[in-house]
Chains A and B, each alone.
Chain A
């Protein structure tokens, strides 16, 4: 089902199924807690997890909080995800290194791939160029989900990130999320 809705500066040709599918695969992976900070590409997904009574939703004031909250949830035996924008990801790489890498704690991050070739917001351009090289420098694994048929790989990605014992980033692309520039 396609619907139109306003989402910040974006005209969203939202395929409702996409966020529903991502949410469903997170649930299938066992995720029961989501720490989130809004990004206009991710707000549909954030609203979905916020509306899930079986998933604890923790809105945060800064993205590094989401990383630490998920690290804490790990020790309560609860699977979690940090849902944040690419800019926020850049702000918390220090905490990802000194908390998660330092103590070998896996944290699953769902991140909008801002600054991609089809994202023409000027304030996203650095993120688009430098995020992946930075992740590679830290040896944080990542995966880019660009088409709906890849969404079902999320549970595998979740298991794999537990094996890696470090932060893992699942990028969601603009194309996947059904977004286009406001006309």
Chain B
């Protein structure tokens, strides 16, 4: 399965989900497919998109929240699985794009390449619903059940590493603009008040 194929399937099943993307491949590919502003494309803190998504998910419990994580990012913060399991957020789905390499830094191999089963790690951390999917048809078939099931739900998307260094163009805004576009999108979408009356 290509990362781009997986993202297209996810986008087709997204519904009302708010999406948080780990920096790098996950963020760039999601932007390439959706161009969505009610997604947060993290530009730093590698490993902590999952924690960010958890903090968001528990504050908007009636809205589905997806985190599009990656193998490199997850490996930097495996403890997030314990924290997630401890909270058992019903509305959180945790996808991990597992291409076994650091795609956006010249395709360098992942630590313990091909030797880790992240779904098994998630189950071991206490996330009972944790699966691996490696083709787009299967992903498409499983998504209704994944959407309907209570979270936390961990889905390892085993994708192919691209044969050559490849980086889809990243989103074309960043930093504070990301904050305000996403925050305003949350205000419009959810009716929450992210910013005060004078804008901060």
A interface list, Cβ under 8 A from B: 33, 35, 56, 58-62, 64-78, 80, 94-95, 97-99, 102-105, 162-163, 165
In the bound complex, do residue B80 and residue A103 qualify as a contact, i.e. CB atoms below 8 Å apart?
Answer: no
In the bound complex, do residue B51 and residue A68 qualify as a contact, i.e. CB atoms below 8 Å apart?
Answer: yes
**Chain B nearest CB, measured from A27 CB (Å):** 16
In the bound complex, do residue A59 and residue B83 qualify as a contact, i.e. CB atoms below 8 Å apart?
Answer: yes
The answer, among A65, A80, A94, A104, for a CB contact under 8 Å with B51, is A65
**Chain B nearest CB, measured from A125 CB (Å):** 27
CB-CB under 8 A for A77 and B45, given A61-B79, A64-B51, A65-B83: no
Specify the chain A residue showing the minimal Cβ separation from B80: A65
4 cross-chain pairs, A with B, having the tightest CB-CB distances, nearest first: A98-B44, A76-B59, A72-B55, A61-B79
In the bound complex, do residue A104 and residue B45 qualify as a contact, i.e. CB atoms below 8 Å apart?
Answer: no
Count of chain B residues near A, Cβ 8 A: 41
In the bound complex, do residue A75 and residue B182 qualify as a contact, i.e. CB atoms below 8 Å apart?
Answer: yes
Among B24-32, B108-116, B146-154, B192-200, the stretch that binds chain A is B192-200
Q: Which of B144-180 contact A (CB under 8 A)?
A: 175-176, 178-179
In the bound complex, do residue A61 and residue B83 qualify as a contact, i.e. CB atoms below 8 Å apart?
Answer: yes
Interface flag for B77 (CB, 8 Å):
yes
Specify the chain B residue showing the minimal Cβ separation from A65: B51
In the bound complex, do residue B51 and residue A77 qualify as a contact, i.e. CB atoms below 8 Å apart?
Answer: no
Contacts of B183 in A (CB 8 A): 74-75
Give A62 to B190 CA distance when docked, in angstroms. 30
Give A69 to B80 CA distance when docked, in angstroms. 10
**Chain A contact surface mostly:** helix
CB-CB under 8 A for A58 and B192, given A33-B59, A80-B55, A103-B43: no
Contacts of A66 in B (CB 8 A): 51
The answer, among B43, B47, B56, B175, for a CB contact under 8 Å with A72, is B56
CB-CB under 8 A for A71 and B59, given A58-B87, A62-B79, A162-B200: no
A-B contact pairs, 28 of them (CB 8 A): A56-B58, A58-B54, A58-B55, A58-B83, A60-B51, A61-B79, A62-B79, A64-B77, A65-B51, A68-B49, A68-B55, A69-B51, A69-B52, A71-B52, A71-B55, A73-B58, A73-B59, A74-B183, A74-B194, A76-B56, A76-B192, A77-B193, A95-B48, A98-B43, A98-B44, A98-B46, A99-B45, A165-B176
In the bound complex, do residue A72 and residue B52 qualify as a contact, i.e. CB atoms below 8 Å apart?
Answer: yes
In the bound complex, do residue A76 and residue B200 qualify as a contact, i.e. CB atoms below 8 Å apart?
Answer: no
Give A181 to B12 CA distance when docked, in angstroms. 60
CB-CB under 8 A for A76 and B186, given A33-B59, A69-B51, A71-B52: yes
In the bound complex, do residue B58 and residue A58 qualify as a contact, i.e. CB atoms below 8 Å apart?
Answer: yes
